[in-house]
Amino acid sequence: MIFLDLPRHLKTERFPAYCVYGEDAYLCAKALEHLTALVTFCPELNLSILTAPATAGEIAEAAQVLPMGELRATVVREYAGKDFDAVNAYLKRPEPSNVLVFYYPGGEFPAKLKGAEPVDCRKLDAFTLTKWIRGKLSVTDDGARLLIELCSSDMSRISAETEKLKSYDPDGTLTAKDVRELVAPDAEYRIYRLADAAAKGEGLQAFEMLEGFIADKLPPVTLMSNISNYFRRLLYVSINGAGGDTAAALNVKPYALEASARQARSFTQRSLKRITDLLRDYEFSVKSGKMNDYGALIIALNAIFIAQAR
């Protein structure tokens, strides 16, 4: 099941074991809250947290402990082992008064774990996020969508920024203009916008964004590497598509890959190859001391526009 289905599911039934995982850490934490809230009597005794257990046998043994009352929950965090044999054997005849919860925020569902109900905490879609934001905040649809973009659909950031915006007291409903002025975009979104400006030939906007990077005192060498890596991703996606194998090869989240695929279509493969070669050369020149770091950034940005214009 996905995260949104969990609260409704827990109102009518309960499985012996769950595995909470997925890219959105905020949703993972909320899912864990829902599951541990099942323990209503004496949680200080009936809620057990196993952190980095050594073996699956240790987990299975903890899951068999009887509660003081009706229900006990055993939460397993940071289990790095690949062996789930003892757990799988336990789940064939589980203790009905103990709920076993595996917790992997930001991680994947373990392939060898059998019998645990998956709780997939993937990033929420724009419609659901917009509805959530507007339930917390008086904001226009455009403002809510911009907030989602600036936070790269990450609920941790969206939740934090929503709380900040609630303390702002505009005359009426918050607009996209208010959101842009009050919410700082995350690094991934800023690189995305820089590439978008390059794709559209918006030189002034691109250099204004570069000034923002410099004003924030981001290390130029790091910024050069990030821009270079981002355009390499666009080239890879342009050539190989945005399937699951590509996400694994690039070690990026699906939502980021989808955004890259959309943006890659604004460039030709030839221009992306030319840009990545130029950025590689400038990055090498900076790291080898042949060019000034800030100077190389400006020259590299000009080179991106020239390569795109050809």
Encode pLDDT of 226-282 as tens digits.
888 888 888 888 888 876 666 666 666 666 677 788 888 888 888 889 888 988 888
Cβ atoms within 10 Å of 275's Cβ, excluding its own: 26
Instruction: Identify the three-state secondary structure at position 51.
Output: strand
Which pLDDT score is estimated for 120? Answer: 96
Q: Are 228 and 297 in contact (CB under 8 A)?
A: no
Mean pLDDT of 287-295: 79
Q: Are 103 and 32 in contact (CB under 8 A)?
A: yes
Alpha-carbon distance 72 to 133, whole Å? 34
* DSSP per-residue string spanning 177-199: HHHHHH-PPPHHHHHHHHHHHHH
Q: Is the pLDDT of residue 224 over 90?
A: no
Domains and CATH numbers, the chain: 3-120 (3.40.50.300), 126-182 (no CATH), 187-309 (1.20.272.10)
Short-list 161, 154, 207, CA closest to 184? 161
Q: Are 1 and 35 in contact (CB under 8 A)?
A: no
Which pLDDT score is estimated for 169? Answer: 60
Alpha-carbon distance 90 to 253, whole Å? 33
Q: Which residue has the higher pLDDT, 190 or 131?
A: 131
Only one residue has tokens 């989808």, namely: 258
Q: Determine how β-strand 72-77 pairs with β-strand 47-51.
A: parallel
Q: Which residues on neighbouring strands pair with residue 104, listed in sequence order?
A: 21
Short-list 10, 24, 301, 52, CA closest to 154? 24
Encode pLDDT of 66-106 as tens digits.
999 899 999 999 898 889 999 999 999 999 999 999 999 98
Alpha-carbon distance 63 to 86, whole Å? 11
Which of 90-104, 138-152, 204-218, 224-238 bottoms out in mean pLDDT, i.e. has the lowest? 204-218
Q: Are 21 and 107 in contact (CB under 8 A)?
A: yes
Which pLDDT score is estimated for 306? Answer: 75
Which pLDDT score is estimated for 250? Answer: 64
Q: Are 194 and 300 in contact (CB under 8 A)?
A: no
Burial of 14 (0-12, 13-18, 19+ CB in 10 A): middle
Where residue 7 falls among pLDDT bands split at 50, 70, 90?
Answer: very high
Which pLDDT score is estimated for 3? Answer: 95
Alpha-carbon distance 308 to 206, whole Å? 14
Which of 151-165, 212-226, 284-298 bottoms out in mean pLDDT, i.e. has the lowest? 212-226
Which pLDDT score is estimated for 203? Answer: 75
Which pLDDT score is estimated for 11? Answer: 94
**What is the chain's alpha carbon radius of gyration, rounded to the nearest angstrom?**
24
Encode pLDDT of 28-41 as tens digits.
999 999 999 999 99
pTM across the whole model: 0.66
Which pLDDT score is estimated for 292? Answer: 80
Which pLDDT score is estimated for 204? Answer: 79
Q: Is the pLDDT of residue 16 over 80?
A: yes
Task: For the chain, give the mean pLDDT.
Answer: 86
What share of the chain in percent tops pLDDT 70? 93
How many separate helices (H) and strands (E) can be counted in the chain? Answer: 16, 5
Which pLDDT score is estimated for 298? Answer: 80
Q: Is the pLDDT of residue 20 over 80?
A: yes
Q: Determine how β-strand 47-51 pairs with β-strand 117-120.
A: unpaired
Please list, residue by residue across 42-64, b when 16 or more beta carbons sit within 10 angstroms of its beta carbon and e when fewer do: eeeebbbebeebeebebbbebbe
Where residue 170 falls among pLDDT bands split at 50, 70, 90?
Answer: low
